[in-house]
Amino acid sequence: MGFLLFLRVFFLLLVAGAPTAQAWGKEGHYMVCKIAEKYLTKKASAAVLDLLPESAGGDLAAVCSWADEVRFRYRWSSPLHYANTPGVCNFEYSRDCHNSKGVQDMCVVGAINNYTTQLLSYGDASSGYNLTESLMFLAHFVGDVHQPLHVGFAEDAGGNTIIVHWYRRKSNLHHVWDVNIIETAMRDFYDNDLGSMIEAIEMNITNEWSDEVSGWKRCSATTSMTCADKYASESIRLACDYAYKDVEQDSTLGDDYFFSRLPVVEKRIAQAGVRLASLLNRVFRKTEEEEVLQLVVQSVDEAHAI
């Protein structure tokens, strides 16, 4: 009886597909995409649904960690998850956006611009891109660029080589920001329920932060369509002010660190979600405008032919 109950609970958990910890980690990306889904326009929502692979079951959040899964199969994509600065607290595209071989644009900011441009060809049958992949990459990288240590210092690989203790467990600073802070928050405040954590963040978006949200979305067309360079600048600033601050090799990070950094993590997840939605909304509004334009051109041509 006890065992059967155990089995039932076990299978229920399996069916619920409670995402398990992984390199932002799986939970972080899931939350970003869940929040984004809420803010998509009808047009963007329809385009996303059209592009999602069958395995997503119509849920963008289900494939938001796909880019991590293919990171080693598509080895070239590995540097697209981050950017490094030479130990300074600002981001400069021309200086910092390259892979280890020095190939320009091969960083998280370049990738966001790249996949955004590809998605603009949605509806154009001659587009040679796999837009399903473009969408899954974009959704993931907009999350990554908001994780402060995905724009960290080159010398410590965004905190990866800084070994720390997270409470009593061995970890590294990068992993603390990808996974540990979120996991501890889930356990201590949200009963290990990702849905409750998402709700709490959404509540803040509509109340606590409502005055700031239009500022998050603002992206002047003169810089770039994505504003990803701006998000990277914010991240390295936060990395210096919060992530790296008061941490050295073998530091033990506990309550003080957790309580002062968790609000930063939650706000970055919120910003990433809101901005991902607003980027997709702009992309798919644009593609529609172009379609309309093409139709007009076509009908003018046809009129001439007659």
- 103, 168, 234, 239 from 271: Cα distances, Å: 29, 31, 11, 16
CB of 121 to ligand NAG, least distance (A): 12
CB of 83 to ligand NAG, least distance (A): 11
16 or 203: whose CB is closer to ligand NAG? 203
Quote the tokens at residue 152.
């960290």
Residue ranges in contact with ligand NAG by CB under 6 A: 53, 76, 80, 105-106, 110-111, 114, 130, 132-133, 200-201, 204, 208, 263, 266
CB of 80 to ligand NAG, least distance (A): 5
230 or 261: whose CB is closer to ligand NAG? 261
Cβ–Cβ under 8 Å, residues 32 and 146: yes
Please state, in angstroms and rounded to a whole number, the distance separating the CA atoms of residues 265 and 256.
15
CB of 34 to ligand NAG, least distance (A): 14
CB of 252 to ligand NAG, least distance (A): 23
- 2, 54, 58, 116 from 24: Cα distances, Å: 37, 24, 22, 21
Q: To the nearest 10°, the Cα dihedral for 139, 143, 146, 151? A: -90
164 or 205: whose CB is closer to ligand NAG? 205
181 or 201: whose CB is closer to ligand NAG? 201
233 or 271: whose CB is closer to ligand NAG? 271
80 DSSP assignment: G
105 or 288: whose CB is closer to ligand NAG? 105
Q: At what angle do helices 26-38 and 255-305 cross, to 10 degrees?
A: 50
Please state, in angstroms and rounded to a whole number, the distance separating the CA atoms of residues 74 and 72.
5
Please state, in angstroms and rounded to a whole number, the distance separating the CA atoms of residues 139 and 111.
11
| Angle value at C-alpha 216, between 177 and 25, nearest 5 degrees | 25
CB of 298 to ligand NAG, least distance (A): 26
